[in-house]
Structure 1
Amino acid sequence: MFRLNPRVQGVSPELLHLYQKVCPSTIGHLTDFGFLKGMHPLFRPIRFVGNAVTVRIPHIDSSAVHKALDLVEPGDVIVIDMSGDTERACWGGGVSYAANFKKIAGVIIAGCATDVNEIKELGLPVFSLGVSPLTTRVLGIEGEINTTISVCGVSVNPGDLIVADDDGVFVINPKDAVEYGKKALQMQESEIETKRKLDAGVSLASLTGASRFFE
């Protein structure tokens, strides 16, 4: 059975602007939730922020991945749940070319990618669990587009905010994202003053409060 739901625009222009300089590693100081652990970029440097378009496929049939490219808009992030298959690649040079034409922000695959050199030449940002020459096929078995999926133990909904850089990927519901984004920027700005104090000879342990555990 195939399920095709309308695309969800959950991320506002204001939210995209807020997160342009937010690092996932900074948010890692604020929460343990929403991080896609185990995801690796195909190349570095890498960074993108965008609106999630979700796809779920059975391990061998990538029909829904191809169809999702009809729905995406510029700035979207395609997030693919391969139903636990970590050996096959559902994403390669052909779909990357089509995705690049649609000007999507990036791709996240809970599975493998292939045609790495082609993807690098295109400059399309891709995160995956690995790389494999074994690929999926277009078989018409089943698939879902814009439903809630699971990636690395994290629920990803259509329209979620995706934030990715060299350190990893963070996913959050847009209604919760403003608070984290503002706090993260404040932390990043405070690091400038922290480095100034370190340059002046102040110890890191005294600045962070770690010294109090040794008194």
Structure 2
Amino acid sequence: MTQDEKVIATLSAVTTATITTLLLKKGLRNVWLRGAAPLKAGQPRVVGRAFTLRFVPAREDLATPESWSSPRSTRAAIEAMPPGCVAVVDAMGTTDAGIFGDILCARMHKRGVAALVTDGVVRDLEGVLATGLPVWSRGTAAPPSVAGLTFVNWDEPVACGGVAVFPGDLIVVDGDGAVVIPAALVDDIVAAAPEQERLENWIMSEVEKGASLPGLYPPDAENRTRYEASKLL
């Protein structure tokens, strides 16, 4: 198993809520991508390295159907996506032009892309859902991307949902949305996440038994001792 496979296996069992708590402890507050919500209820948690794409506002001489055949196009970007990546698309929060439709999503799924995450919207809803590609977005819109956006590049830093995302950062997405883990902090978060999940599961079990929250969440010294003892049982 490669290091990335170990990372994915570990974080696939960790909620984005837990990850944001761990990143907060490291001083990072702006890690949740605003607007990136599951397109379909029940989508599985996905973990993968970020492959970034960037749009800017539409400019009439560039945002044309002919631009789709350009060497610098969304079509070309998709062909550069490695298997297992999470495509993170900076659409500046635009909600009246769909960045990708069913054909592009089908190609991404065929290439083994793990998920699409954007602060924009997609089009061809039924077709996109039929591709099997997990999508997190602001929703859907019928018009194509060139109706409101100009595609400019891929594999460079972007601002998606108000969050800085760099190529190679780790993306975790689930029912709560999308969270970015900076590449330099991945090992630290992977090391701490299982323990944080165990602690919160124990706290939940205590709450279900009727325990009050003060001194329990977060645990004081007495409850911390009880928790450590529970791990030995």
Shorter chain as denominator, the TM-score bin is 0.7 to 0.9
For residues 79 and 168 of structure 1, the distance between their equivalents in structure 2, rounded to whole angstroms, comes to 13
Structure-2 residue corresponding to 1:38: 35
Q: Which of 196, 199, 205 in structure 2 is aligned with 1:196?
A: 205
Q: Which of 127, 130, 139 in structure 2 is aligned with 1:130?
A: 139
Structure-2 residue corresponding to 1:12: 4
Structure 1 pair 12–136 and aligned structure 2 pair: CA distance change class (3 A): same
Q: 1:105 aligned to 2:114?
A: yes
**TM-score scaled to structure 2, two decimals?**
0.76
Report the Cα offset of residue 36 of structure 1: 0.4
For residues 170 and 136 of structure 1, the distance between their equivalents in structure 2, rounded to whole angstroms, comes to 25
Which has the greater radius of gyration? 2
Structure-2 residue corresponding to 1:183: 192
Report the Cα offset of residue 130 of structure 1: 2.5
Structure-2 residue corresponding to 1:25: 17
Structure-1 residue corresponding to 2:82: 73
- Please provide the CA RMSD for this pair: 2.4
Q: How many residues align?
A: 199
**Which has the larger strand fraction?**
1
Question: Unaligned stretches of 5+ in structure 2?
Answer: 221-233
Deviations 1:50-84 (A, max 9, x none): 11111112344474221111111211111111245
Report the Cα offset of residue 27 of structure 1: 1.8
Give the secondary structure class of the aligned counterpart of 1:103: coil
For residues 215 and 88 of structure 2, the distance between their equivalents in structure 1, rounded to whole angstroms, comes to 42
Matched-pair contact (CA < 8 Å) for 1:59–1:88? no
Report the Cα offset of residue 209 of structure 1: 5.4
Report percent identity of matched pairs: 27
Structure 1 pair 182–210 and aligned structure 2 pair: CA distance change class (3 A): closer
Decide which moves more: 165-174 or 185-194: 185-194
**TM-score scaled to structure 1, two decimals?**
0.82
Structure 1 pair 93–182 and aligned structure 2 pair: CA distance change class (3 A): same
Q: Which of 53, 56, 73 in structure 2 is aligned with 1:55?
A: 53
Deviations 1:24-57 (A, max 9, x none): 1112223223110222110121221111111112
For residues 131 and 17 of structure 2, the distance between their equivalents in structure 1, rounded to whole angstroms, comes to 27
Q: Which of 133, 144, 156 in structure 1 is aligned with 2:153?
A: 144
Report the Cα offset of residue 106 of structure 1: 0.2
For residues 204 and 92 of structure 2, the distance between their equivalents in structure 1, rounded to whole angstroms, comes to 45
Structure 1 pair 147–209 and aligned structure 2 pair: CA distance change class (3 A): closer
Counterpart residue identity of residue 21, structure 1: A
For residues 175 and 35 of structure 1, the distance between their equivalents in structure 2, rounded to whole angstroms, comes to 17
Structure 1 pair 124–35 and aligned structure 2 pair: CA distance change class (3 A): same
Structure 1 pair 148–207 and aligned structure 2 pair: CA distance change class (3 A): same
Matched-pair contact (CA < 8 Å) for 2:52–2:158? yes
For residues 148 and 125 of structure 1, the distance between their equivalents in structure 2, rounded to whole angstroms, comes to 22
Report the Cα offset of residue 193 of structure 1: 2.1
